[in-house]
């Protein structure tokens, strides 16, 4: 077990105890659902509270089982242990690949009736519809779509220094050098494995969507030998000089705080960071702005947040179906996504309730399959084991400058070849 995995497991076990405590709360409603999720920051909390409140209006209680683990690594471990211990929650926050894995094991409630009654096939963006399906059945209720390749910048800071928002990595280098001379950290970043890997996947995308899909969707051997992969790895290592020292392993809201507090100027992160900035009272296009991560303007690197209903307790079904239907109600879609920073999963969302970042994100996502690129790190593109192994390898490369790029490239290729691809 790697040190990183050790760390994650330790955190997950601590969370398991925490979850056990959280479940002890007595629900005020006759029916209630225990929901396992990893939404822990202020804005995530507010988004959860909104759904819980709306569910309460339908006489169903929400029992919170939160596992504090950015991107859900710990939550995944806790869910697996609890499934094995026959102590599963009724609802779990999952991402696409994981929905498929649990559905294959026949552990999720099929939501076909809810989907048919709510005309989900007409309501949902087609990519979202296929994300929640396995073997012709619906296994999750989608909440929102996040754009991962987002560059957040402190607008006032860049304006004060007369600096442009970099659209390319070349421009980024120029802007970063000026910021550093002015005593500002150019790029806020944590060394947490998933956060490093999130930055890395945007850098791979910057080298070409064909390369990205070859590596993380099709897992082509040729893509792993491509010198653009080496370029992305070297870029990841190269931008370390623009991060504050030491590069700490911290939660993403802590890095964001640097941006909000004008100590750092930019941050590459999924747009859940927008939700968090809004919850701190910052305003889009006043205090901060969002642009595409450098060299990725044409693409929407995405993930979809969904809730799956665990099918082990038949008596929970009516309440589970209520929650699934609620997720798609226009009011929840508009209000939840505004708080969360994501965009509605709907073909016809309430544009008037969306800010400029959200509108741009929705428009690009909806422009067609060519623009849509599924996130590796946020479990949209390939098997969980491969995802975990790649994240660990990239993290090691990031931390240890003595590892030759060719070694990492070779190892990544081996990972992609070794694990059998499941569909
Ligand atoms: C993502 C998830 C987001 C947000 C983020 C940080 O995987 O889709 O909703 O929670 O992790 O934890």
Report the mean per-residue pLDDT for the chain.
93
Q: What structural domains and CATH numbers belong to the chain?
A: 3-147+304-365 (3.40.190.10), 150-301 (3.40.190.10)
Is residue 9 pLDDT above 70, yes or no?
Answer: no
Token reading at 389: 């192994």
Q: What's the chain's Rg over C-alpha atoms? A: 21
Is residue 13 pLDDT above 90, yes or no?
Answer: no
Percent of the chain clearing pLDDT 70 (strictly above): 93
DSSP assignments along 114-160, one per residue: HHHHTTHHHHB-HHHHHHTEETTEE--EEEEEEESSEEEEEHHHHHH
Residue 182 confidence (pLDDT): 98
Is residue 345 pLDDT above 70, yes or no?
Answer: yes
Q: What's the gap in Å between 244 CA and the centre of ligand 1? A: 24
Sign of the CA dihedral with 121 first, then 304, 82, and 42 last:
negative
Q: What's the gap in Å between 198 CA and the centre of ligand 1? A: 11
pLDDT band at residue 321 using 50, 70 and 90 as cut-offs = very high
Is 251 within 8 Å of 190 (Cβ atoms)? yes
pLDDT band at residue 330 using 50, 70 and 90 as cut-offs = very high
Is 240 within 8 Å of 186 (Cβ atoms)? no
Nearest CA to ligand 1 atom 11: 71
Q: Is 198 in the pocket of ligand 1 (CB under 6 A)?
A: no
Q: Is 72 in the pocket of ligand 1 (CB under 6 A)?
A: yes
Q: Is 194 in the pocket of ligand 1 (CB under 6 A)?
A: no
Is residue 6 pLDDT above 50, yes or no?
Answer: no
Task: Give 27-68 pLDDT, tens digit per residue.
Answer: 568 899 999 999 999 999 999 999 999 999 999 999 999 999
Residue 423 confidence (pLDDT): 65
Residue 28 confidence (pLDDT): 67
pLDDT band at residue 24 using 50, 70 and 90 as cut-offs = very low
Nearest in space to 154 (alpha carbons), one of 143, 165, 167 = 165
Task: Give 256-314 pLDDT, tens digit per residue.
Answer: 999 999 999 999 999 999 999 999 999 999 999 999 999 999 999 999 999 999 998 99
Sign of the CA dihedral with 292 first, then 296, 298, and 301 last:
negative
Task: Give 394-407 pLDDT, tens digit per residue.
Answer: 999 999 999 999 99
Nearest CA to ligand 1 atom 8: 305
Nearest CA to ligand 1 atom 12: 70
Residue 186 confidence (pLDDT): 98
Q: Is 146 in the pocket of ligand 1 (CB under 6 A)?
A: yes
Percent of the chain clearing pLDDT 90 (strictly above): 90
Q: Whole-structure pTM over 0.85, yes or no?
A: yes
Q: Is 142 in the pocket of ligand 1 (CB under 6 A)?
A: no
Task: Give 134-147 pLDDT, tens digit per residue.
Answer: 999 999 999 999 99
pLDDT band at residue 3 using 50, 70 and 90 as cut-offs = very low
Token reading at 401: 């400058």
Q: Is 336 in the pocket of ligand 1 (CB under 6 A)?
A: no
Q: Is 271 in the pocket of ligand 1 (CB under 6 A)?
A: no
Q: DSSP label at 408?
A: H
Residue among 150, 253, 270 whose CB has most ligand 1 atoms within 8 A, to mutate: 270
Task: Give 233-258 pLDDT, tens digit per residue.
Answer: 999 999 999 999 999 999 999 999 99
């Amino acid at each position: 077990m790697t040190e990183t995995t050790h760390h994650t497991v330790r955190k997950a076990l601590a969370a398991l105890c925490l979850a056990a405590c959280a479940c002890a709360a007595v629900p005020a409603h006759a029916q209630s659902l225990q929901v396992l999720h990893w939404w822990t920051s202020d804005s995530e909390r507010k988004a959860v509270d909104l759904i819980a409140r709306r569910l309460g209006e339908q006489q169903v209680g929400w029992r919170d089982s939160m596992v504090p683990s950015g991107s859900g690594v710990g939550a995944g471990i806790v869910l697996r242990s609890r499934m094995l211990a026959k102590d599963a929650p009724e609802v779990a926050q999952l991402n696409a690949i994981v929905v498929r894995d649990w559905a294959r094991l026949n552990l999720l409630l099929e939501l076909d009736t809810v989907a048919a009654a709510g005309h989900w096939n007409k309501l949902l963006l087609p990519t979202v519809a296929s994300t929640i399906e396995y073997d012709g059945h619906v296994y999750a209720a989608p909440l929102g779509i996040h754009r991962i390749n987002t560059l957040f910048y402190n607008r006032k800071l860049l304006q004060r220094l007369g600096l442009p928002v970099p659209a390319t990595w070349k421009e980024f280098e120029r802007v970063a050098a000026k910021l550093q001379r002015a005593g500002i950290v150019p790029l806020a970043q944590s060394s947490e494995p998933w956060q490093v890997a999130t930055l890395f996947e945007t850098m791979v995308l910057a080298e070409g969507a064909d390369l990205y899909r070859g590596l993380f969707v099709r897992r082509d051997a040729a893509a792993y030998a491509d010198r653009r992969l080496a370029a992305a790895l070297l870029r990841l290592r190269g931008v370390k000089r623009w991060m504050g020292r030491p590069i700490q392993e911290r939660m993403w809201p802590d890095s964001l705080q640097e941006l909000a507090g004008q100590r750092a100027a930019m941050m590459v992160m999924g747009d859940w960071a927008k939700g968090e900035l809004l919850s701190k009272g910052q305003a889009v296009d006043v205090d901060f702005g969002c642009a595409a991560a450098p060299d990725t303007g044409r693409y929407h690197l995405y993930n979809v947040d969904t809730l799956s209903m665990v099918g082990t307790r038949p008596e929970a079904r009516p309440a589970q179906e209520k929650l699934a239907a609620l997720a798609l109600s226009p009011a929840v879609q508009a209000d939840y996504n505004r708080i969360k920073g994501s965009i509605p999963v709907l073909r016809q969302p309430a544009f008037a309730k969306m800010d400029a970042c959200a509108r741009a994100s929705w428009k690009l996502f909806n422009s067609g399959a060519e623009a849509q690129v599924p996130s590796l790190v946020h479990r949209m593109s390939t098997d969980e084991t491969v995802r975990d192994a790649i994240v660990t390898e990239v993290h090691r490369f990031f931390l240890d400058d003595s590892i030759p790029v060719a070694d990492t490239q070779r190892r990544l290729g081996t990972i992609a070849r070794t694990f059998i691809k499941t569909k």
